[in-house]
Copies of this chain bind each other. A is one copy, B any other.
Amino acid sequence: MDLLKEKIKKDGTVLPGNVLKVDNFLNHQVDAKLMDQIGEEFARLFKDEKITKVVTVESSGIAPALTTAIHLGVPLIFARKHKSVTLTDDLYTAKVYSYTKKVSNNISIDKRFLNADDHILIIDDFLANGQAVQGLLEIAKLADVSVSGIGIVIEKSFQKGHAMIEKTGIRLESLARIASLKDQSVTFVE
């Protein structure tokens, strides 16, 4: 998605440790128009997959997942994060480790919202090590729903998330694929 790549080049900042800071248009301040176009693009890419629900994790996944759900005409579910170990029988739960924040969270979805005949599309803002996606795939397995695709706004292709998803055979579409963040500069995958 050229528009997104231009925006990353223009407004993204590369910080030490392979961090790409895009909090001025993606995950703190949000360019609402761009976010709508991102949803439109995911809907176009996955329109033939008979998606019944879009699934993401709070918080920064909500914006691209919502616009995708609007353009596909299906509901959105956002998994909730929580620290507590008290789980209830009403929830599908998976453990997710965040490399950025160096903490483990449980993420969960109420059992009422996933049914065996669902075809879900997983959407997230970033793919790095793939922990959040892996957690959602675990929940999908527990709920016995099929995962028809994974849509990522910005993928850091040099980290292990991409390879992990490739191994599952699930269709992955990333709107911007970053090959390297060396020398404070963004290089996209050709």
Contact = CB atoms under 8 A, between A and B. Distances in A.
Q: Which of A66, A72, A110 has the most CB of B within 10 A?
A: A66
Interface string A22-53: 01110011111101100000000000000000
Contacts of A58: 58-59
How many chain copies does the complex carry? Answer: 2
A127 interface: no
A69 B32 contact: yes
Contacts of A67: 66, 70
Contact of A30 (B72, B77, B109): B77
Contact of A62 (B63, B70, B77): B63
B32 A75 contact: yes
A69 B31 CA distance: 9
Interface of A: 23-25, 28-33, 35-36, 54, 58-59, 62-63, 66-67, 69-70, 72-78, 80, 109-110, 112-113
22 contacts: A23-B110, A28-B109, A28-B113, A29-B75, A29-B76, A29-B110, A29-B113, A30-B66, A30-B69, A30-B76, A30-B78, A31-B75, A32-B69, A32-B76, A33-B73, A35-B66, A35-B70, A58-B58, A59-B62, A63-B66, A63-B76, A66-B66
